[in-house]
Each structure stands twice: as C-alpha cells, then as structure tokens.
Amino acid sequence: MLKPLMFVGTGSDVGKSVITAAFCRIFKQDGYTPAPFKAQNMALNSFATPDGLEIGRAQAVQADAAGIPCHTDMNPLLLKPSADTICQVVLNGKSIGNQHAYDYFTKDNKTALRKEVCAAFDRLQTRYNPIVLEGAGSISEINLREVDLVNMSMAAHANASVILVADIDRGGVFASVYGSILLLTEEERKLVKGILINKFRGDIRLFESGVKMLENLCRMPVVGVVPYFKEIHIEEEDSVMLHTKNRSAKDGKVNVAVVLLQHLSNFTDFNALEHDSRIHLYYTNQSQELTDADIIILPGTKNTLHDLQILRRDGLAEAIIHAKQNGKTILGICGGFQMMGRELHDPMCIESDLRQLPGLNLLPLNTTLKGEKITTQVNFKFNGGETTCSGYEIHNGRTEILSSITPLNQKSDNTTDGCFIGNCYGTYIHGILDNSEFVDFLISSFLKEKESQPAFDYSKFKEEQFDKLADHVRNSVNLPLIYSFIQ
C-alpha cells in the first residue's frame, strides 16, 4: 500500500488537474491501481458516472487516465455557478439546490459537508491504491481556513504527502511558493514534502540556481521542473481559455462554429472536433463569424433562458436563423437543443428569475425546467443506423415534441432522444461528437467539396495523450524521491 499523494497549488490554473492526471497514469503504468480525488470542485464542466450521478469533468478525465470508471466518491462535492454569486450544489452526485456563495462559505454547514467528503475519501481508499488527491485554488487563502474542505484540512484527514505546484510561466514563482508555505500553520507545513515547478519555458539549466534558492528558502526539495507543452492535449477543466480559440473560418476545411455562450457548459463536447484534421473548429459570439460557418453548434449552458436572452440582444439569434435558411447545419446540444424549440419555461426559477421565453423556433418543441435533474450514461443509435454510440445526459429540462417528427437517436432502453428537421438537429446527449460515426454523418454533406480524409478516432487519441503526458512528467520529476514520500 502507498500513502495518498496530494497536489496543491499556489493559485488557480497552475496545472494541478493535469499533474494529477499524469500521476494517475504513471501509477497505472507502474502496476498500481490509482484513483483521483478532489473533495470540492467548482466547474460548469461535469460528467455523468456509470450509475447515473454527477461529478466534475476533471475527475472523470483523471479516472480515464487511471484506467478506471469514474465514481462520485472521486468528487463528492461539486459547485456549478449559475450566476456571479449563485451556485448549484451537487453532493454525492445529486443536486441539493442553489445557494448564495456568501451563505455557502459562511453558514454553519461545513461540519456536515466535511463528514461527507471525508467519508467519500475513506470509501475510495478501500478500493484503490494510491489515491491521488487534488487541491483547489491556493492553499494559502487564510481567510477561508476555518471552512476549508478541499486543501490542507483534506490533506490532514488523508495523511497525504503533499506537493505544492507553482506555475512559473505567470511569473513571481519565488514569492508565490515561499509565501504559500510561510502562510501555512506549523502542522500543515509538516504535510508538504516538496515543490513542483510547472510550465517552464526555455533552457532548464538556467533555473538550476533558482531550484537551489527555493530549496534553501523553503527547506524542502524541488521534486521536478515540468516544461511547458503544447503538443499534448488533455481536456481542460475550465472554459477560461475558450476566448483564445475565437478564430474565423478557414478555406479547405469544414468550418464548425460553437456559439460562445456566457454560461457555456460541457465545452469538452467539442474536443474531438478540435483535433479532427477535416474540421476547423472555432468559438464565437460574433454574428458574421457564425454566417461564415458550415455548421453552427448551440452548446450546453448552465443558464439557458439568460443565454437565449443574450443571443437575441446581440443579434446572434437572428444570425443563426438566417444561417439555417441559407442551408447551414444547426446542431443544438442539451441547453442549445432547448433553445431551438418554440418556448422555454422555468416556473420554479431553477436557473434564473426568467420564467418564460420564446425559443428560436427551429424545431417544434417546448421545454420546461424541472426540479429533479436527469444524469445518466447512454448508449444509442442515431438516424436509424446500426452503429452503437455512447454519451451522457445531464439536464433539468423535460422536452415535449409538438408534432410527429423523426427522433434523432434511439437509446438502448428503447426510448428516443432529440429530433431533426432538414438541416436542424437537437439532442440531450453530451459526448455525441466523441463518436466518429456521428461526426462523419454531421459533416458528410460538406465534405463533397473538401479534401476527403479518414475519420478521427478520439478514444485512441485520448489514450495516446495520457501516455505522452505521463512520459513528459516522468522525465521531468524525481520519481524515486516522490515514491519515497508515499512508501
């Protein structure tokens, strides 16, 4: 048995999730049975487990890296922002309602939540070895120390060997590392065994003196300096970088535009398209850039009515309707599917204070948001075909089809999903674009005038990326030293 290993950060977006995924794959390669764990995650990007519950997408990716099915014990507490100060709280895979951020972080509910997340870790540890834990944000938010569930309080419960991850690419690495350690209590500091410098650019030999300075300052070893990489593609946890993918159409490719919604969720639905050499994928909230696309995708959203209101305000709704009339393909996924109907209703104000809005009227359906969320993995066949595909559903909406039209998908439980009319398609299934057969079907009419290339195998691609990531990190850290911390 190995002790738990935990990666915490000097701040947000320093690379903790990717480093955790790397060590899940490294331990798997070395013959262990690792599992990821993050007590509390805040993200719009979620995933349905095999038993129909909801966790953060990052832990599902890390479970893939470990080669195991994901489970709610890997992420017992998930916060899904629906507004600047409001979050939906998902506990052990099920929503327990919306809560104001101030109330969540100040109300006396942390004792009960701490018991839940610790119990989830304890269950997970009986099944896997080792547990690779991930912290959240900075470990030195001293104003939140008393209500911390995910960083050093979790490390203490797990008796984990902690490694502090710092992002040198953003600058200030000496101050952020030294300050983070200095602000810990004496008991917390004892748990931190080493420092990992992430996202290094340039000649690492130039940082050798910096490594020695850090070790002297902090009185602990630097366990590795991991170079910045661009050619390894691991699903990102947050959509904060989507604006950098705001690129216009390209000649010679099937141009696919994803509408950049304010509350866009499950953006990993489009990762397979991004790596398909036949396709040029871009995100946009500009009307003209939508007009230039062959295919427009309305993605999922955590606040469907609010985002639909913004589409109308900014002229994007009109651009989508005109694109449909000009023969472009429109695909709606989850919340995007709901927007394509005639009406949307939120009588219980589940997502916002908007109770009703007209839809884009591209498909004959009405949707009402209900209190109980549907979360399930699904197998299905699309458009009357024989190929079995897979995906997952996460939604509060219940959609009523208003006329006799063809369902898009036939699910393995003999129910149907979605519908289509002409060049307009709608579905509740996230991950539908991970199936190469569906992508081939979607882009086939546009390939006639493009260069024909083979279909893209996204599952094989993901496995290759995990192995590349493991090799990259393995070659950049002192792995025997890290093993010594947990043996």
Cα 299 to Cα 134: distance, rounded to the nearest angstrom: 28
Active site annotation includes 430: yes
Which is the CATH superfamily of the domain at 5-234+464-486? Answer: P-loop containing nucleotide triphosphate hydrolases (3.40.50.300)
Residue 107 has a pLDDT of: 66
pTM for this entry: 0.85
pLDDT by 10s per residue, the chain, length 487: 999 999 999 999 999 999 999 999 999 999 999 999 999 998 888 999 999 999 999 999 999 999 999 999 999 999 988 777 788 899 999 988 888 877 777 667 788 899 999 999 999 999 999 999 999 999 999 988 888 999 999 999 999 999 999 999 999 999 999 999 999 999 999 999 999 999 999 999 999 999 999 999 999 999 999 999 988 999 876 655 565 565 667 778 899 999 999 889 898 999 999 999 899 999 999 998 898 899 999 999 989 999 999 999 999 999 999 999 999 999 999 999 999 999 999 998 888 888 999 999 999 999 999 988 899 999 999 988 899 999 999 999 999 999 888 899 999 999 999 999 999 999 999 999 999 999 999 998 888 655 556 778 899 999 999 999 999 999 999 999 999 999 9
Identify whether the C-beta of residue 283 lies closer than 8 Å to the C-beta of residue 274.
Answer: no
* Three-class SS of the chain: CCCCEEEEECCCCCCHHHHHHHHHHHHHHCCCECEEECCEEECCCEEECCCCCEEEHHHHHHHHHHCCCCCHHHCCEEEEECCCCEEEEEECCEEEEEEEHHHHHHCCCHHHHHHHHHHHHHHHHCCCECEEEECCCCCCCHHHHHHCCCCHHHHHHHCCEEEEEEEHHHCCHHHHHHHHHHCCCHHHHHHEEEEEEEEECCCHHHHHHHHHHHHHHHCCCEEEEEECCCCCCCCCCCCCCHHHHCCCCCCCCEEEEEECCCCEECHHHHHHHHCCCCEEEEEECCHHHHHCCCEEEECEECCHHHHHHHHHHCCHHHHHHHHHHCCCEEEEECHHHHHCCCEEECCCCCCCCCCEEECCCCCCEEEEEEEEEEEEEEEEEECCCCCCEEEEEEEEEEEEECCCCCCCEEECCCCEECEEECCEEEECCECHHHCHHHHHHHHHHHHCCCCCCCCCCHHHHHHHHHHHHHHHHHCCECHHHHHHHHC
Identify whether the C-beta of residue 392 lies closer than 8 Å to the C-beta of residue 329.
Answer: no
Strand-pairing partners, residue 258, are 283, 297
Which is the CATH superfamily of the domain at 253-450? Answer: Class I glutamine amidotransferase (GATase) domain (3.40.50.880)
Identify whether the C-beta of residue 42 lies closer than 8 Å to the C-beta of residue 13.
Answer: no
Identify whether the C-beta of residue 338 lies closer than 8 Å to the C-beta of residue 302.
Answer: no
For residue 281 the two structure tokens come to: 């994928």
Exactly one of 71, 306, 395, 430 is catalytic; which is it?
430
Residue 440 has a pLDDT of: 92
Active site annotation includes 24: no
Residue 452 has a pLDDT of: 57
Residue 244 has a pLDDT of: 58
Identify whether the C-beta of residue 487 lies closer than 8 Å to the C-beta of residue 308.
Answer: no
pLDDT digits (tens, 9 = 90+) for 298-345: 999 989 999 999 999 999 999 999 999 999 999 999 999 999 999 999
Identify whether the C-beta of residue 373 lies closer than 8 Å to the C-beta of residue 396.
Answer: yes
Residue 237 has a pLDDT of: 64
Exactly one of 70, 334, 419, 424 is catalytic; which is it?
334
Identify whether the C-beta of residue 135 lies closer than 8 Å to the C-beta of residue 30.
Answer: no
Domain boundaries, the chain: 5-234+464-486, 253-450
Q: Is there a common fold for 5-234+464-486 and 253-450?
A: yes
Residue 146 has a pLDDT of: 87
Q: 124: closest CA among 79, 59, 52?
A: 59
